[in-house]
């Protein structure tokens, strides 16, 4: 993984010194809250319902064991012993005191972590495929490109005060495992006509109040021109994006308003007048960055492991875990283990300090010291020998991290909702917990197969409800929590927004209604047909009927 | 009646204006305010930025939040309804 050079280290140190002074001035009253707010947001600090909240960046979701242990230390020392992984692969601490923040950031800087640009109207943490460098369908590892974009965008003077926040995701395979079309800019690595690395570029995606799926703006931008092309997009957005209305300030609104063709013309106009020599990525610099992401020293192993196969035969629970939480690795004899942060009845994305230490130990011992955060709010040990998977599972199981539900119906993505968030209209976590308990039966989960359920506590859509196969949106109806259900959303290469099926439901009716929709799927699916494919074939109507059948009968 | 609430500067915790203009942590210790007292209390809290961050008034019946944001205010006063924070007292905080 990437390691800081002296410039990175100095930049982070100087920022902490600056922020430390700002905290002191805020504490003394020299700065008002209005003056301090934009400064704290630049350092990932929010003021939420109950306390300050610190959002720490996990660049493109990649961590080593030392960093994970330090997150555990922060959770224990400055917070309430836990953290919350988000859909941007960041981690949030919900309870730090203002005066502790400089110390927290200093502790994090020692392990090359920071909170810069995790908030504010700037380019946020770049996300990617959690199986980067692992998946066999990958054209090229996207992580070096993520790092290049991170370096380019960090404290970029021209793009530090954009009309609104700006999110970029990069994938290296045709299969989209990073929801790139829901981003302001989505980048997909392709092979250019010359056989070199190029990027298929999507622009104008986003969720929130006015959701849009990103549109293709360029089929194959050459790799060495990537930063120039991104600069042209950002420049067009910075100049033309609205600043008069926060709800209409994202690039998705601009692209929708003027049309993709007119926006492309503006980007190309900007691209033509850029100083390309300043933005071209030199081959030697690309090679230098790529060297940080060379594959670890894998052993030359057979594709199968007799010990692993025997453990699967002997232990049905382990076998179930491997079916749901183990992904194929391009290196023979290895697999990627998904560490579930979705225990039945738990808080999606939450992890205790003790659990962080367990994951850190397992990463160090069994996964070449690497652990990843996924946008689905789980963790991944990317490089585990098949013969070690049973030992990893056993330890995860002891720690409550081995729920066999990756990509299944209880692998629910949910924002913190009104239990924590000052923007929320309704709680997300209790709805996720009720649904998780309702669908807890492991055999049922496997029978249902992959189903993505997303819950957001307000229209800002941090829980990505628009692109859940089933989405749940909390709304406030005269001071009461209600939940609107959508069906048919999809975050992947067939990205689509879900269809609202009808009137919103009170909290206690949500889990039974979704369970009925999933029962209906089992009745009407074709052999081997996934839930989302049944929805695509038949539309939302059968599910709408199932969701409302009891409430309609009672009405 | 109304109560005055805010977040506390040093740790962001939810506070209310109590008796003798003290900042108090529990809604039960908050001082009920009629309309005239509420406006004065708001002005007073706004003049103490070293304690009260973003002060505002909430409607209550007794000391139970009753306005349009009553659920949010109930959660602010009692803490998260679920999750790990219920299990772990923070540093500087009594369990």
Q: Tell me what the mean pLDDT of segment A361-365 comes to.
A: 98
From the options 3.90.480.20, 3.30.1330.10, 1.10.260.40, 3.10.580.10, give the CATH code of A6-110. 3.90.480.20
Say yes or no to pLDDT of B92 above 50.
no
What's CA A183's distance to the chain center, in Å?
11
- What is the rounded end-to-end Cα distance, in angstroms, of chain A? 58
Of A33, A49, A418, the CB nearest to B53: A33
Q: What are phi and psi of A406, to 5 degrees?
A: -60, 125
A234 CB-side CA count, 13 A = 26
Say yes or no to pLDDT of A222 above 70.
yes
Which pLDDT does position B84 carry in this prediction? Answer: 84
Domains A6-110 and A306-398 share a fold: yes
Integer Cα distance of A36 and A98 in angstroms: 12
Please give the mean pLDDT across all residues of chain A: 97
Cβ contacts of B24 within 8 Å, gap of 6 or more: B15, B16, B17, B18, B30
Which pLDDT does position A458 carry in this prediction? Answer: 97
Integer Cα distance of A482 and A474 in angstroms: 6
Number of Cβ atoms within 10 Å of the Cβ of A159: 20
* Residues of chain B neighbouring A350 (CB-CB closer than 8 A): 83-84
Say yes or no to pLDDT of B65 above 80.
yes
A514: nearest Cα among A476, A474, A484, A552: A484
Q: ∠ at Cα A428 (A426, A431), nearest 5°?
A: 110
Closest approach of chain B CAs to the CA of A487, in angstroms?
27
Task: List the strands of the sheet with A62-64, edge to edge.
Answer: A62-64, A370-373, A379-385, A334-339, A326-328
**Percent above pLDDT 70 for chain A:** 99
Which pLDDT does position B94 carry in this prediction? Answer: 43
Integer Cα distance of A381 and B67 in angstroms: 48
| Topology adopted by domain A413-554 | Sulfite Reductase Hemoprotein; domain 1 (3.30.413)
Which of B74 and A479 is assigned the larger pLDDT? B74
Domain boundaries, chain A: 6-110, 134-291, 306-398, 413-554
**pTM, rounded to two decimals:** 0.96
Which pLDDT does position B87 carry in this prediction? Answer: 75
Which of A478 and A45 is assigned the larger pLDDT? A45
Q: Tell me what the mean pLDDT of segment A454-466 comes to.
A: 97
Q: What are phi and psi of A212, to 5 degrees?
A: -140, 145
Of A47, A426, A430, the CB nearest to B12: A47
- State whether B68 and A478 contact (CB < 8 Å): yes
Provide the pLDDT confidence category of residue A359 given band limits of 50, 70 and 90.
Answer: very high
What class, spelled out in words, does domain A306-398 have in CATH?
alpha beta
With an 8 Å Cβ cutoff, the interface of chain A facing chain B consists of 26-27, 29, 32-33, 47-52, 77-82, 94-95, 97-99, 347, 350, 352, 418-420, 424, 426-427, 429-430, 433, 476, 478-481
Say yes or no to pLDDT of A306 above 60.
yes
**Percent above pLDDT 90 for chain A:** 97
Which pLDDT does position A555 carry in this prediction? Answer: 55
Cβ contacts of A205 within 8 Å, gap of 6 or more: A180, A181, A182, A183, A184, A186, A212, A213, A214, A215, A252, A495
Which pLDDT does position A218 carry in this prediction? Answer: 98
Say yes or no to pLDDT of A551 above 80.
no
Q: Tell me what the mean pLDDT of segment A185-213 comes to.
A: 96
With an 8 Å Cβ cutoff, the interface of chain B facing chain A consists of 7, 9-14, 49-50, 53-54, 67-72, 75-76, 79-85, 87-92
Q: Are strands A379-385 and A127-128 parallel, antiparallel or unpaired?
A: unpaired
Query: In this structure, are residues A149 and A106 in contact, taking their beta carbons and an 8 Å threshold?
Result: no
Which pLDDT does position A277 carry in this prediction? Answer: 86
Secondary structure of A169-183 in HEC code, one letter for each residue? EEECCCCCCCCHHHC
**CA A53, A374, A348, A318 torsion: positive or negative?**
negative
Q: Tell me what the mean pLDDT of segment A192-198 comes to.
A: 94
DSSP string for A50-63:
SSEEEEE--GGGEE
Provide the pLDDT confidence category of residue B85 given band limits of 50, 70 and 90.
Answer: confident
Q: What is the pLDDT of residues B28-63, one digit of tens each?
A: 999 999 999 999 999 999 999 999 999 999 999 999
Q: What is the pLDDT of residues A233-282, one digit of tens each?
A: 999 999 999 999 999 999 999 999 999 999 999 999 999 999 888 899 99
Closest approach of chain A CAs to the CA of B35, in angstroms?
22
| Topology adopted by domain A134-291 | Sulfite Reductase Hemoprotein; domain 1 (3.30.413)
Which pLDDT does position A84 carry in this prediction? Answer: 98
- What is the rounded end-to-end Cα distance, in angstroms, of chain B? 31
Which pLDDT does position B89 carry in this prediction? Answer: 60
Query: In this structure, are residues A127 and A30 in contact, taking their beta carbons and an 8 Å threshold?
Result: no
Looking at the predicted complex, does its ipTM rise above 0.85? yes
Cβ contacts of B84 within 8 Å, gap of 6 or more: A80, A81, A82, A347, A350, A352
Integer Cα distance of A38 and A35 in angstroms: 7
Cβ contacts of A194 within 8 Å, gap of 6 or more: none
Give the residue from chain A lying closest to B71, CA to CA.
A479
Q: Could you tell me which residues are beta bridge partners of residue A65?
A: none
């Amino acid at each position: 993984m990437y390691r800081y050079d002296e410039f990175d280290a100095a930049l982070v140190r100087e920022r902490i010194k600056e922020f430390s002074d700002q905290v002191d001035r805020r504490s003394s009253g020299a700065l008002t809250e209005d003056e301090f707010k934009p400064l704290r947001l630049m350092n990932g600090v929010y003021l939420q319902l109950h306390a300050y909240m610190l959002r720490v960046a996990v660049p493109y979701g990649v961590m080593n064991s030392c960093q994970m242990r330090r997150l555990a230390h922060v959770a224990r020392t400055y917070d309430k012993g836990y953290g919350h992984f988000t859909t941007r692969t960041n981690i949030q601490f919900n309870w730090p005191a203002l005066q502790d923040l400089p110390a927290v950031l200093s502790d994090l800087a020692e392990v090359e972590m920071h909170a810069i640009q995790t908030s504010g109207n700037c380019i946020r943490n770049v996300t990617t495929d959690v199986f980067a460098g692992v998946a066999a369908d990958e054209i090229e590892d996207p992580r070096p490109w993520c790092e290049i974009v991170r370096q380019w965008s960090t404290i970029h003077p021209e793009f530090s005060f954009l009309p609104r926040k700006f999110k970029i995701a990069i994938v290296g395979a045709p299969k989209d495992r990073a929801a790139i079309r829901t981003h302001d800019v989505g980048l997909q690595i392709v092979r250019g006509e010359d056989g070199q690395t190029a990027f298929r570029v999507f622009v104008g995606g986003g969720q929130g109040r006015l959701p849009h799926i990103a549109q293709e703006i360029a089929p194959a931008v050459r790799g060495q021109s990537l930063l120039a092309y991104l600069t042209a997009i950002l420049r067009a957005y910075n100049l033309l994006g609205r600043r008069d209305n926060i709800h209409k300030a994202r690039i998705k609104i601009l692209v929708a308003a003027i049309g993709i063709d007119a926006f492309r013309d503006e980007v190309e106009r900007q691209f033509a007048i850029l100083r390309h020599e300043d933005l071209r990525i030199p081959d030697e610099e690309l090679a230098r960055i790529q060297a940080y992401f060379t594959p670890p020293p894998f052993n030359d192993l057979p594709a199968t492991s007799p010990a692993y196969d025997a453990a699967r035969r002997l232990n049905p629970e382990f076998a179930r875990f491997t079916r749901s939480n183990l992904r194929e690795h391009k290196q023979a004899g290895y697999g990627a283990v998904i560490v579930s942060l979705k225990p039945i009845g738990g808080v999606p994305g939450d992890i205790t300090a003790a659990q962080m230490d367990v994951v850190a130990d397992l990463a160090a011992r069994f996964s070449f010291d690497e652990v990843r955060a996924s946008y689905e709010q789980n963790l991944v040990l990317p490089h585990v020998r098949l013969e070690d998977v049973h030992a990893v599972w056993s330890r995860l199981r002891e720690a409550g991290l081995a729920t066999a539900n990756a990509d299944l119906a209880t692998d629910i993505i949910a924002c913190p909702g009104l239990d924590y968030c000052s923007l929320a209209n309704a709680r997300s976590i209790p709805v996720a917990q009720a649904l998780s308990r309702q669908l807890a039966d492991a055999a049922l989960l496997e029978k249902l197969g992959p189903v993505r359920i997303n819950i957001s506590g307000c229209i800002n859509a941090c829980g990505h409800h628009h692109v859940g196969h089933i989405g749940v949106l909390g709304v406030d109806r005269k001071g009461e929590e209600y939940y609107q259900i959508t069906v048919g959303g999809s975050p992947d290469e067939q990205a689509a927004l879900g269809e609202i099926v009808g009137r919103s439901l009170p909290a206690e009716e949500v889990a039974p209604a979704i369970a009925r929709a999933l029962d209906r799927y089992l009745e009407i699916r074709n052999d081997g047909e996934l839930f989302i494919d049944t929805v695509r074939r038949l539309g939302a109507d059968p599910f709408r009927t199932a969701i409302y059948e009891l409430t309609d009968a009672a009405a | 009646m109304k109560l005055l609430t805010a977040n506390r500067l040093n740790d962001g915790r939810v506070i209310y204006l109590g008796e003798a203009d003290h900042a108090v942590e529990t809604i039960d210790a908050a001082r009920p305010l009629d309309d005239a007292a509420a406006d004065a209390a708001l002005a007073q809290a706004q003049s103490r930025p070293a304690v009260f961050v973003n002060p505002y008034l909430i409607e209550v019946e007794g000391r139970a939040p009753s306005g349009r944001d009553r659920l949010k205010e109930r959660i602010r006063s009692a803490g998260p309804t679920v999750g790990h924070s219920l299990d772990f007292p923070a540093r500087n905080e009594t369990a």
